[in-house]
Structure 1
Amino acid sequence: MKYVSGFLSIIIALFISSTAAGDVLVYGQVGGTVTLPRSKWGSERVLVLWYLGTDTQPLISRNAHGRETIDPQWKDRLSLSKTDFSLIINNIRLEDFKSFKCELKDFRPQPTSVVTTFRLSRVRVQPVSPLLAGKNLNLKCDIEEIVEGTQRRWLSPQKQDPKNDTRVQIKNDGSLTVMSVTGQDHGEWTCVVTYQGRKANANTHVSVIDLSPAHPQPIYTSVSSLSLLHLPCFLSNPPPLSWSDSQEKSIQGGRWTFTPSPAAGSNTRVVQTLVNLSLGPPLAWVVNQKRGLDVSALQRKNLNLSLTKKGVTEGDRGEYTCAVEFQKDDTLKRSIRVEVLQVFSSPAPVAFVGQEVNLTCTLGQPLTSDLKVKWIPPRQSSLLALGSSPHPAHLTIPEARDINGGRWRCELWRNKTKLTSVEITLKIERVPMDVWLLVTICAAAVIFILLLILTVILIRRHRQRVMMPRRGKRRICRCKDPKPKGFYRN
C-alpha cells in the first residue's frame, strides 16, 4: 500500500509538471503597480522562481528556508508578497509589458515543479490638456489585448460611477464623454478593467480651470460704516499661469461689473464697470474709485480677483459679476447677488414721549417665504408690551415712552441660521418747557391776529351801513351863499 501511494504521488507530480497552468492575462498601466498571483500548488516551503519571458536567470527567487534573491536591476521595483509570494511589480515601465514565468519546485517527497506563464497587457487612458469649465471632456480606455470576458467601467474623481450623471455618455468601446465640465470634474478619472476576478486601474488626471464656486444664495450684509463686504473670485485648479505672462498663455483679461438692484433707486439697471484689467504694458488694474473698493487681493495674488468693500450702503444692492477672459473668446463668469439689510425710523430717530414711532426693517423688497426678521429691543423694553409679534418687518410703537429708547436690533434669519443684522438707536425725549411756551405764544399771537382781523371787518361793515342813503327821501342841497333870482351882468 505504501508503494502504491508513492507511485500515485509520482504520477500526479509528473502530470502537474508536464502541464503548465496556461497563460494568465493580467492588465496594468505604465507607472502603476500590478500583482502576478502564484499558483496555489505546493506548500509555503517551496522554491519560488520568477523569470522574465524565456530568460534562464530568475528576476527574484525565494528558497524553502525563506531566503530571497533579486536581480540588482529590478531591486527597487520587484518584491514578493508576504502571504503567498506573488510577484509585485511597482512603477511599471513600457518595456515591462511582456511575459513573466513563475516556477514552483517542491523536493518532498519527490522533486516536482509547476510553471505558470503570465502575460502583462497594457491599459491606458490618453491624457487630456486642461479644459475650461463648460467644455466637453472626452476620455477613452484603451486595452492592448482585449479578450472575451474583459469588462471596463469608469470612476469619477469622487470615486463614484458616473453612469447616473445625465451629462455623461459611455460607449461600448470604453470611451467616455462628459458634457459641460465643472470644477467638480477636476481630478483623477479611473478606468477599472476586470478580467477573471482581477482588477486593474488606469488613471488619468483631468484639469478643469474654473472660477471659485458660485454662491447658491445671495450674500447678505447690512448698512453700516463697519460692515465688510467680501466678493470672492479666483481661479480654482489653475495651471501654472499668471496675468503677467497671459500673452504667452491663454489669459487675456479680467473685470468686475455691477448691476444695481431696482430697490437701490435705479430703474434702468445700467451695468457699471468696477474693476478692469489693463494688460498694458505695464500690467495695471483700473479701479472705479467711487465705489470704495479694496483691490489689495488683486495685487497680492495675480490669479485672485476677490474684492472687499468697507462701509456698505443700500446703493450696494445688486448683482456683481466677475469675468476672466481667455483666448478664442472663451470667458468664465461668476455672478454674486448682494442683499443689504437696513432699518429706519419714521418720522425720525428722535421722537417725543407720546408720539407714534414706526420702525421698518427691509431688504428694499418684500421678504421671500424662507426669510424672516427678528427684533431685539433694548433691555428695558418689551415687544409684548407693544402687542406685536417678534417677526414683523414693520414695527409700530403707538405711544413712545422712555423705556422704548435705546438700541434696537433687527436680525435676518433663514430657518435656524442668522444671515445678518442691523441696528438703530432710538431716542425718546420729553417736550421741553420752552417749547410749550413758544407754542403758547404762537397760539396767542394767532388768536390776537384773528380777533384784530375780525374787528376791522366789523368796523368797515358798520361804516358802510351808516353812509348808505335812505330810500324815498329827496336830498336838499344847501348853498353856502344863496343868491336871489334875476338877471345879472358879468
Structure 2
Amino acid sequence: MNYVSGFLSIVIALFISSTGAEDVVYGQVGGTVTLPKLKWGSEKVTVQWYFGMDQKSLIFRNAQGRETIDPEWKDRLSLSKTDFSLIINKIRLEDFKSFKCELKDFRPTQMTSVTTFRLSRVSVQPVSPLLAGKNLNLNCDVKEIFEGTQRRWLSPQKQDLNKDKRAQIGNNGGLTVMNVTGQDNGEWTCVVTYQGREAYANTPVTVIDLSPAHTQPIYTSVSSLSLLHLPCFFSIPLPLSWSGSQEKSIQGGRWTFTPSPAAGSLTGAVQTLVNLSPGPPLAWVANQKRGLDVSALQRKNLNLSLSKKGVTEGDRGDYTCAVEFQRDDTLKREMRVEVLQVFTSPGPVAFLGQEVNLTCTLGQPLTSDLEVKWIPPHHSSLLPLDSSPHPTLLTIPEATYGNGGRWRCELWRNKTKLTSVEITLKIERVPMDVWLLVTICAAAVIFVLLLILTVILIRRHRQRVMMPRRGKRRFCNCQDPKPKGFYRN
C-alpha cells in the first residue's frame, strides 16, 4: 500500500512539473506587470523565482512566509499576498527575458512545479505636441505577436476608440485620430490582449488648444458698471520642448470684432481691437480705444482674455481671438456677445395719466428658449406678470405715481438667469406753465380758425351780390311802328 501511494505521488509530481511550459506576458518599459498566479493545492510551500538564462535567484519565500530578495531588485519586486504571483514594478529594458517560478511542497512527499514566463515588450512611440485641428498618429509595437493577440486603443477618458468616428485603426495596430482638440490631451493607451490577459502600453499626447468655445452667446447688459469678459487662454501650458521657448512658438495674434446689425453698424465690417506682439515678452497693442482691459496676459499661463467695463449696445457682435504659430498655423476662438437693454416710450419721464411703454430687447427677436421677466418697483401697483414667457413690451395704460421707480428686466433661459438691466421711470404732474401754454395755443388756433371762417363768409356774400349785375342786358320798346317785338337800342 505504501508502494502505491509513493508511486502516485511521483506521478502527480511529474504531472505538475510538466505544466511548467513557457508562457508569454506583455509589459511596457516603466510600467508594472504581474506574472500570473500559480494554482497550487497547498499554501505551505517554498517559492523561488529565477531570472534569465543564468537562472539568477530573484526572490525566495519559505513555508513560514519569510522572504529573501535580491538587493538589485529589492525596490521593484514583490509577491502577491494571496498567491505566488510575481509583481514587477518600473520595468526596465533589460527585464524582457525569461522568469522561472519553482514551487516545492515537502508534505507528505516532495512535489515540485516549475513554470517559465517570457516577458515580451509592447510600446507606443511618443509623438510631438500637436496643435488642435491636426491629426494624431500612434503605433502600438508588439515585439512578439502570436495567434489570438489583439490590440485596441483607449482615449484619455478611457473610452474605446472603436466607437469614435474620428478614429481609424489599422490592421497593424496603428491609430489615426482626425482633427484633435484639447479634450484629446492626456494619456493614450494601447491594450494588448493575449490568452485572456491584458497588457497596457501608455503614451502621453500633448494637444495645444485654446479654452473651450462657448456653445451659447455671452449675455451682458447696457450699463456703465457692466463688465464684459471675453475668455481666451490655453487649455494647457505650452511645453518648452516644443519650440525651445513659449515666445518663439507664437508669431502673433489679434482680437477682432464684427458688429451685429442690431448694433447699428454695417454687417461684415471687421474691426481689429488689439494685436498680439510676439515679443519677447508677449504684449497686447491696442488699435482702438474702447475701454479695453488686456492686463490678463501673463507670460506663465498665456492668458489672452479681454475685458471691457461700461457696456453699450454698440458692443453687440462677434469677437474672435486668434493666435498665430509657426508654419502658418492658427488657433481661433469665436464668441457672440448679446447686450440686453431697456428703454421707455415716450421717455424716462412721463406725466400722470400718460401711456408708457417699457421695451426690453437684445436688438432682435428673442429665440424660443429665452424669456424676460419684469420686476417693477416694490411700491408699484402694476405687479410682475406670472405668465411665461413674459412680453418684451410692457404697456402701462395710464401712468400713476405708483408706477415710478426702478424697473428691472431679467433675461432667463429655463431656470438660469443670464443677465439683467434696470431703468428708472419718473412720473410727474403736468406743470402749470404747460397748461397755460396749451391754453394759449388752443385759443390762438381757435382765433385763426374763426378769422379764416369770417373771411370765407364775406367773400361768398360779395359773390352773391355781384352775380346779377354781371349777367343783366338792357332792352327798350320803340314808339315807331315796327314789327312787333323788342329791339336793342
TM-score above 0.5:
yes
Alignment match, 1:318:
317
Give runs of aligned pairs for residues 214-363 of structure 1, distance below 5 A: 214-241=213-240, 249-280=248-279, 283-299=282-298, 303-363=302-362
Hey, what's the Cα distance between the residues in 1 that align with 2:127 and 2:105?
Answer: 50
Bigger Cα displacement from structure 2, 455-464 vs 423-432: 455-464
Bigger Cα displacement from structure 2, 431-440 vs 199-208: 431-440
Show CA shifts across 1:431-467 (max 9, x none). 1223223322343345456667777899999999999
Q: Is the 8 A contact 1:386 1:398 kept in 2?
A: no
Q: Using a 3 Å threshold, how does the CA distance of structure 1 residues 384 and 296 change in structure 2: closer, same or farther?
A: closer
Show CA shifts across 1:136-193 (max 9, x none). 0111111001111111111111111111111111122111110001111111111111
Bigger Cα displacement from structure 2, 382-391 vs 269-278: 382-391
**1:193 partnered with 2:192:** yes
Give runs of aligned pairs for residues 107-146 of structure 1, distance below 5 A: 107-146=106-145
Hey, what's the Cα distance between the residues in 2 that align with 1:22 and 1:2?
Answer: 31
Hey, what's the Cα distance between the residues in 2 that align with 1:47 and 1:308?
Answer: 71
CA displacement at 1:106 relative to structure 2: 1.6
- The code of the aligned residue for 1:95 comes to E
Show CA shifts across 1:464-483 (max 9, x none). 9999xx989xxxxxxxxxxx
* Residue-pair matches, total: 471
Show CA shifts across 1:4-36 (max 9, x none). 22331133224434x252001000000000011
CA displacement at 1:197 relative to structure 2: 1.6
Equivalent position SS for 2:373? strand
Show CA shifts across 1:228-279 (max 9, x none). 111000111233359x976874211121000000110012431111110123
Equivalent position SS for 2:26? strand
Hey, what's the Cα distance between the residues in 2 that align with 1:300 and 1:459?
Answer: 93
CA displacement at 1:327 relative to structure 2: 0.8
Q: Using a 3 Å threshold, how does the CA distance of structure 1 residues 353 and 94 change in structure 2: closer, same or farther?
A: same
Give runs of aligned pairs for residues 442-461 of structure 1, distance below 5 A: 442-448=441-447
Alignment match, 2:98:
99
Equivalent position SS for 2:276? strand
Q: Is the 8 A contact 2:49 2:100 kept in 1?
A: yes
Q: Using a 3 Å threshold, how does the CA distance of structure 1 residues 385 and 361 change in structure 2: closer, same or farther?
A: closer
Structure 2 runs not aligned, ≥5 long = 473-489
Q: Is the 8 A contact 1:23 1:116 kept in 2?
A: yes
CA displacement at 1:37 relative to structure 2: 2.3
Bigger Cα displacement from structure 2, 123-132 vs 265-274: 265-274
Give runs of aligned pairs for residues 434-445 of structure 1, distance below 5 A: 434-445=433-444
Equivalent position SS for 2:289? helix
- The code of the aligned residue for 2:328 comes to D
CA displacement at 1:367 relative to structure 2: 1.1
Hey, what's the Cα distance between the residues in 2 that align with 1:93 and 1:338?
Answer: 55
Q: Is the 8 A contact 2:37 2:85 kept in 1?
A: yes
Q: Is the 8 A contact 2:321 2:334 kept in 1?
A: yes
Hey, what's the Cα distance between the residues in 1 that align with 2:183 and 2:364?
Answer: 34
- The code of the aligned residue for 2:75 comes to D
Hey, what's the Cα distance between the residues in 2 that align with 1:161 and 1:389?
Answer: 44
Alignment match, 2:475:
none
CA displacement at 1:79 relative to structure 2: 0.9
Hey, what's the Cα distance between the residues in 2 that align with 1:308 and 1:399?
Answer: 42
Alignment match, 2:8:
8
Alignment match, 1:53:
52
Equivalent position SS for 1:95? helix
- The code of the aligned residue for 1:16 comes to I
**1:164 partnered with 2:163:** yes
Hey, what's the Cα distance between the residues in 2 that align with 1:388 and 1:197?
Answer: 62
- The code of the aligned residue for 2:420 comes to S
TM-score by length of 1: 0.88
Q: Is the 8 A contact 1:356 1:397 kept in 2?
A: yes
TM-score by length of 2: 0.89
Show CA shifts across 1:310-348 (max 9, x none). 111000000000001011111000100000011110110
Q: Is the 8 A contact 1:38 1:102 kept in 2?
A: no
Alignment match, 2:485:
none
Q: Is the 8 A contact 1:135 1:181 kept in 2?
A: yes
Bigger Cα displacement from structure 2, 138-147 vs 390-399: 390-399
Give runs of aligned pairs for residues 395-434 of structure 1, distance below 5 A: 395-434=394-433
- The code of the aligned residue for 1:45 comes to K
Alignment match, 1:76:
75
Bigger Cα displacement from structure 2, 306-315 vs 289-298: 289-298
CA displacement at 1:394 relative to structure 2: 1.2
Bigger Cα displacement from structure 2, 295-304 vs 49-58: 295-304
Hey, what's the Cα distance between the residues in 1 that align with 2:97 and 2:249?
Answer: 42
Q: Using a 3 Å threshold, how does the CA distance of structure 1 residues 167 and 442 change in structure 2: closer, same or farther?
A: same
Bigger Cα displacement from structure 2, 148-157 vs 21-30: 148-157
Percent of residue pairs bearing the same amino acid type: 84
